Amino acid sequence: SHYKKERKVNFHNALTHLKALEVNADLDPGEKSSLLELQKMASDDGALRNLTREQKDDICNKLVEYRTHKATSSRANNIAASQDMLDNLALRTGSYGCFFLTRGHVNDTAPPTYYGNDNAMDFWEDILNLDPDEVARLFETWACSRHQNTGEQDTLQNVRKQVTRMVQSGLRNALNNRRIKMNYINYDTAIVSELKVKLVGWTKGVPFANPSVIGTVSDLRKLRDDLKSGKCHWVKLTPSQLSEHNAVLDMRREEGESMGRARKTRSDKGKKRKSSGKENEQPRKRAKRGSNARKSKHTSAAVIGTTDEEDDSEDDH
């Protein structure tokens, strides 16, 4: 298991930490004492040799507080915070992960960056044959060209794509089939009756139709929000619900209502079609492959009798 119990603070490390706070507190990074120097100072300090149990516990608690603050305090930027999250995830669960960050608009100045715990970034080069620097650059180009701001994302065309994608992905997840396609025209028969699933919670006031024919962007935004929140979602029908649905369809058919769109009639319907003539053809023989058997050769007889010899033999008798 990757889950490990946290070890208790070592008193020797606590003394080194205490000495670091005393010596390196006001020094610049290049002037601070090294770990070995701090350990030697702590061992040579006579005031730290004869400590009571309470004093030792107090020194250890200071190190615990320092580590807790370091692990939970805010980072200088979001990138550093994300790096800590990935590193901690790897330590606790053994998971691999990576991320790419880039600006979302051409007027932003943040450069693209990426990070992966352990050797996760090697995946891009070893498996996909892609340089992470190139991936980050392409990601930046894609993000800036799509104008990733809220106002431009909510255009009619973009919201249509979002709704279409969410309805389609929800149907495929409900059926666990990545090849299924949504059918709005024959929805009651091709989707509900045959596949036994139903889309419930469709936004009120929005016509149930292909998003490509819905022309009001406000309606599409409401529908998109309902799909995101789960208010509009796919459910599998029970046998009783399916029977009730089919009974309603039968009543509508009896009343003369057409269900969906009928298939297009063939142009040669009712006409006699020419036979291709292949029904009566005999199958062609195929040569056997992989057989080690040799073909038998015809051998002629050693002596072939003639009619004259046969006549002579009859006269002798």
Higher-scoring residue by pLDDT: 18, 100: 100
Top pLDDT among 152 and 249 is at 249
Is the predicted pLDDT of residue 291 greater than 60, yes or no? Answer: no
SS3 of 65, please?
helix
190 or 268, greater pLDDT: 190
Looking at the domain assignment, is residue 221 inside a domain? Answer: yes
Final residue before a domain boundary, out of 145, 163, 193: 145
Q: 173: which DSSP letter?
A: H
75-79, 118-122, 147-151, 260-264 — which one is most confidently predicted on average? Answer: 118-122
Q: Between 217-229 and 156-175, two packed helices, what is the crossing angle to 10 degrees?
A: 30
How is residue 24 annotated by DSSP?
S
pTM: 0.46
Query: Is the pLDDT reported for residue 199 higher than 80?
Result: yes
Q: What is the mean pLDDT of residues 240-247?
A: 95
Statement to judge: residues 140 and 190 lie in one domain: no
For residue 179, the domain's CATH number is 3.90.1460.10
Q: Are 124 and 105 in contact (CB under 8 A)?
A: no
Maximal CA-CA distance, the chain? 146
Taking 3-state DSSP, the helix, strand and coil percentages for the chain, each rounded to the nearest 5, stand at 50, 5, 45
Q: What distance in Å separates the CA atoms of residue 62 and residue 64, rounded to the nearest whole number?
A: 5
Q: Please indicate, yes or no, if residue 275 is contained in any of the structural domains.
A: no
In a domain, 240, yes or no: yes
Task: Please count the structural domains in the chain.
Answer: 3
> Does residue 161 sit in the same domain as residue 244?
yes
Do 131 and 157 sit in the same domain of this protein? Answer: no
Looking at the fold, whether 165 and 245 belong to one and the same domain comes out as yes
pLDDT band at 294 (very low <50, low <70, confident <90, very high): low
Pair (233, 181) in one structural domain: yes
33-37, 72-76, 140-144, 245-249, range with the lowest pLDDT: 72-76
Q: Is residue 241 part of a domain?
A: yes
User: Within a 13 Å sphere around the CA of 137, how many CA atoms are in the beta-carbon half?
Assistant: 5
Asked if residue 280 belongs to a domain, the reply is no
Range(s) of the domain holding residue 120: 78-145
Query: 179 and 237 in one domain?
Result: yes
Neighbouring C-beta atoms of residue 16, cutoff 10 Å = 19
Average pLDDT of the chain to the nearest whole number: 79
Interhelix angle 11-23/53-72, nearest 10 degrees = 70
Q: Is residue 298 part of a domain?
A: no
Domain membership of residue 305 (yes or no) is no
Let me know whether 122 and 98 are in one domain: yes
Q: Do the domain assignments include residue 301? A: no
Final residue before a domain boundary, out of 233, 254, 275: 254
Average pLDDT of the residues in 64-71? 70
pLDDT of residue 304: 53
d(CA 88, CA 82): 10
Asked if 163 and 189 sit in the same domain, the reply is yes
Asked if residue 39 and residue 129 are part of one domain, the reply reads no
Of 145, 161, 180, the last residue of a domain is 145
Instruction: State how beta strands 197-200 and 98-101 pair.
Output: unpaired
Q: Are residues 247 and 230 both part of a single domain?
A: yes
Distance, in Å, from the CA atom of 116 to the CA atom of 100, rounded to the nearest integer, reads 9
Checking if the pLDDT of 290 tops 60, the result is no
Residues 183 and 223 in one domain: yes
**pLDDT band, very low/low/confident/very high, at 17 (cuts 50, 70, 90):** confident
